[in-house]
Chains A and B, each alone.
Chain A
């Protein structure tokens, strides 16, 4: 084992071990403990900043405990701190002490989408005129491909994560939320503001299909299969209004 591997193992070990032969200073062990404490405390703060509602839902003490196990299991693999924790939601799914809060993992997914939307690269939206030009080709609208802004995220949850999240932003009463009600939502960035919007399931499937590279016709079909009263007009209007369509073409965007 290399020195570096021994160092990492000791750093992440639950037993608070000290890597042998690290440094001959007499106080090296307590200095290593200080270093370990800083690593865990900074990464826990980074997670708490990225997942504020998850932290509020479980309380600071539980969050710190959950974060410690997460950090030990998934140490950072990139120096970019904002990317740290993109495996947090999947980890929460498997973290048995959190099993009594079945909506917690999806809440983490929602908050992850917000972080990603916030940091996504800028792209100008396709304008009104550019889109109206496609009305001249009605026969080809079926294969109109609409590429969405990279900061756009859809979450389909079997729990009421939108209402729970909104209640933590001062919208609605937490006590009135039935957490077992399925909700579908869209996370987007309009200029500099990250927004979270509640969607119908059909609308969520429509946007997800577009994200997956489906043409306009197939995306509408995917939504109609869920709800045969689905109206693509308002759904598409939302995407245009929020500047989420960054490329439109009659073949799949490269």
Chain B
């Protein structure tokens, strides 16, 4: 019963208003793949993205945290600000690197 009442009282105007307000709230475009960069040395063990190079085959296969030859896609510009325990610079790098000892 209450369902029917609600259905009746829910006017086309109310739904239009909801859709309009939803569309007006969507402002920032979500991260598209081309807003991302490959960041080496920052992926948690097993959380790398695809094509990780020698020793791993694909996404989710890295063996250690911050493995130097596997990448994770991160928003552009953030990679070299992300801390990495293996990187000689202390931060993620845009290319695979030799891990510090």
B4-37 residues with Cβ-Cβ distance < 8 A to A are 6-7, 10, 12-23, 25-26, 28, 30-33, 36
A217 within 8 A of B: yes
Contact pattern, A 240-251, Cβ under 8 Å of B = 1, otherwise 0 = 111100000000
Query: Which of A4-12, A18-26, A84-92, A229-237 lines the interface with chain B?
Result: A229-237
B99 within 8 A of A: no
Majority secondary structure of chain B interface residues (helix, strand, loop or mixed): helix
Q: How many residue pairs at the A-B interface have CB separations less than 8 Å? A: 90
Majority secondary structure of chain A interface residues (helix, strand, loop or mixed): helix
Decide if B36 touches A191 in the complex (CB within 8 Å): yes
B49 within 8 A of A: yes
A167 CA / B88 CA spacing, docked (Å): 31
A93 within 8 A of B: no
Decide if A220 touches B18 in the complex (CB within 8 Å): yes
Contact pattern, A 125-138, Cβ under 8 Å of B = 1, otherwise 0 = 10010011011001
Decide if B25 touches A141 in the complex (CB within 8 Å): no
Decide if B19 touches A241 in the complex (CB within 8 Å): no
A174-232 residues with Cβ-Cβ distance < 8 A to B are 190-192, 216-218, 220-221, 224-225, 231-232
